[in-house]
Amino acid sequence: MSPARATRPRKRLWRDVSERALDRCGRTLGRAVRSAFVPLAVILACSHFASSATGAEERPNFVVIFADDLGYGDLGVYGSERIRTPHLDKMAAEGMRFTDFYAAAPFCSPSRAAILTGRYPVRAGVPYVLFPTESTGLPQAEITVAELLSEAGYATAAIGKWHLGWPKPFRAHRHGFDFFFGLPYSNDMLKWEPVEIRRAQHAFWELPLMEDDTVVEAPVNQHTLTKRYTERAVSFIRENRDRPFFLYFPHTFPHNPQYASEEFEGRSPHGLYSDTVEEVDWSVGVLLDTLGELGLDEQTLVVFTSDNGPTRGGTRWGKRSSGGTAGGLRGRKGNTYEGGMRVPAIFRWQGKIGAGTLARDATSILDLMPTFAELSGEEMPRDRVIDGRSIADLLLGKAELAEAPFFYYFGVQLQAVRVGRWKLHIRRTELPPHSASLWYLQNDDLFTRHHRLQPEPELYDLDADRGETQNAAADHPDVVERLDTLARQFDHDLQRDKRPQVFLDSP
Ligand SMILES: [Ca+2]
C-alpha cells in the first residue's frame, strides 16, 4: 500500500463493508461485533483476512478503457474503412465483441455516472452534462465500482477525463480512486474571455491537467494527453502487478477539439478525428503489450467502449473538429436513436473469454459494476436499486443471457425502451420539469430541442431495421402497448427513487 493510498480521504461503505465482514467472519463474531461496537478497523481487518483467505490471486484485474464520443462505426472491427485500429481489432479477435452494447446516456457526464455506479444516470443524481462553474456532481451517497473494489483490496486509479463534478467533493479520488491524473472535465471547456458572450461550457480559468487536487499544467498541451495518460496507466499497472487492480481509463479523445501527438497528427488520410482514434488504438496496444509482458493476460479483464455516439464535425473548432460515424445507425451524440447510444464494446480476458466470440445481447455500461463485483467475489450494494446486471456467465461462456429491457433516457426524460428486437420511442406530449443545468439556464431553446416531444410513438424492429427507418407502430399495436406500459411503469418507479442532484453552496 502506497503512502498516498493510506492517507487518502475516503468515504467508507459502512453498511456494506460491515455486512461483508460479518458474513465472512461468521455469525458468532458478528454478534460480538454488533454488541460490542468493535472498531471498524477490526471489521476491515477481518474482511481483508477473509479476502486473502479466498485467494486474492484468483481475483482478476479490471481495466476499463472508455473513449469519448467514439462512433459505432469508427473501428476497423466495426466496419470502418477509413480509421486504422489494428490493436482494437486484435483485441476483438482475442475476446468478445458486442454488437448491441449501449452507453446509458447520449452524452458525457451521465454516461460516466452510469458506468461507475451501475445505475441509470438520473437515478444516480447526474442527469445532465456538468460544466466547470456548476456546483454539482456525482453525489457522495453513490457507491462507485472503484469504492467497491478498493474496499476489497484493489488498487484503483482514474486516468483521463473525469467529468463528474469540478468542486472538490465530487472528484475522482473522493469516489474510491487511489489517485486521479487527467482532465477534470471536457477538453472544450476552456477559459472564456471577458469579450466573449459567456458560454455555459466555459470556465474562468485555463483548462487544467490535474493530479488529484493539484494543477500540473494549465492550459494543458492537449497534443500530449493521450501519450501522458498512457504512460501513467502503464506505470500504474507495473506498480500493482502483484496485487489486484482496477484501472479506469477514460480517454479525452476523439471528443472535440481534437489533438494528437506529433507521431499521429496528420498521419491519417481522413483528418483529425481519425488521427485521435488511431492514437487511442495505439494506447490500447501499449496497455495490452504491458499486460502481456508482465504475464497478466490471464488475470486481467480488459474492456473497451465509448461513452456515447459520435459528434458532428463543426465550424466552432475549425480544423480541430471533425466528426465520426455511427456505422449506419440513425442519430448521433445527443439523441436516443441508436447512433447516440449504441457503442463499440470489446471484452478481452485471455483463457476465460472465448477468442473471436460475438455477443448480440442488448447489454450496456450499466452491467460493468455488477459483472466486476461477481468476478471479484464481492457483493453489490443492497440498499439501492442497481439497474445493471452481471454478464459474467455470458463472458465466460457458461450461460446465455436472459432478455432484459434497456431504457433510453435523455436527462430526466425517458424517451425509448428496447426489449429484444423491438425498440419503442414512446409518445411524449409534455416537457419534463426544467432542469437546473447551466446548459439550459443559458439556452432556453436547447431544453425544448433536447427534450423533444413525440406526438406519436415510433416502433422499430432492430433486427431487421437497425437504422430505425421504418416505423412499424401501426402494424404492431400490441407491441407498442406492451412496451409503452413497461416503459411508463419503469419510469414511474425510477422518478420516485432517483437521487436528487446535490448542489454545494459554492464550487
Ligand atoms: Ca462523450
**Domain coordinates in residue numbering, the chain:** 3-54, 58-395, 406-503
User: How many C-beta atoms surround the C-beta of residue 298 within 10 A?
Assistant: 11
60 CA to centre of ligand 1 in angstroms: 28
Instruction: Give me the CATH topology for the region 406-503.
Output: Arylsulfatase, C-terminal domain (3.30.1120)
Q: Please state, for a pLDDT cut of 90, what percent of the chain lies above it.
A: 79
Residue with cell 476483438: 92
The active-site residue out of 25, 46, 87, 108 is 108
**Beta strands, E only, 208-365:** 209-211, 214-217, 245-250, 300-306, 342-348, 357-359, 363-364
Which three cell numbers mark 54? 479466498
Give the DSSP letter string of 436-490.
--HHHHS-HHHHHHHT--BSS-EEEETTT-TT--S--GGG-HHHHHHHHHHHHHH
| CATH class for the domain made up of 58-395 | alpha beta
Residue range 315-327: mean pLDDT, rounded: 87
164 CA to centre of ligand 1 in angstroms: 12
316 CA to centre of ligand 1 in angstroms: 17
The verdict on pTM exceeding 0.85 is yes
* Rounded Cα–Cα distance for residues 236 and 30 (Å): 36
Alpha helices in 37-188 (DSSP H): 40-53, 86-94, 108-117, 121-124, 145-151
In the predicted structure, residue 109 carries a pLDDT above the cut 90: yes
pLDDT of residue 24: 39
Max Cα-Cα span within the chain: 69
pLDDT of residue 27: 33
Binning pLDDT at 50, 70 and 90, where does residue 434 land? confident
The active-site residue out of 163, 175, 255, 450 is 163
Higher pLDDT: 494 or 192? It is 494
- pLDDT per position as a tens digit, 206-218: 999 999 999 999 9
In the predicted structure, residue 23 carries a pLDDT above the cut 50: no
- From the number of C-beta atoms within 10 Å of its C-beta (0-12, 13-18, 19+), residue 194 rates as exposed
Query: CA nearest 243: which of 152, 304, 176, 159?
Result: 152
- pLDDT per position as a tens digit, 162-183: 999 999 999 999 999 999 999 9
pLDDT of residue 240: 98
69 CA to centre of ligand 1 in angstroms: 4
- pLDDT per position as a tens digit, 248-262: 999 999 999 999 999
Binning pLDDT at 50, 70 and 90, where does residue 198 land? low
CA dihedral (346, 352, 356, 358) in degrees, to 10, reads -60
Q: Is 46 a catalytic residue?
A: no
Residue range 482-487: mean pLDDT, rounded: 98
411 CA to centre of ligand 1 in angstroms: 14
Residue with cell 461462456: 397
In contact, 71 and 324? CB cutoff 8 Å:
yes
340 CA to centre of ligand 1 in angstroms: 10
In the predicted structure, residue 12 carries a pLDDT above the cut 60: no
268 CA to centre of ligand 1 in angstroms: 22
In the predicted structure, residue 40 carries a pLDDT above the cut 80: no
Which three cell numbers mark 69? 464520443
Residue range 471-489: mean pLDDT, rounded: 98
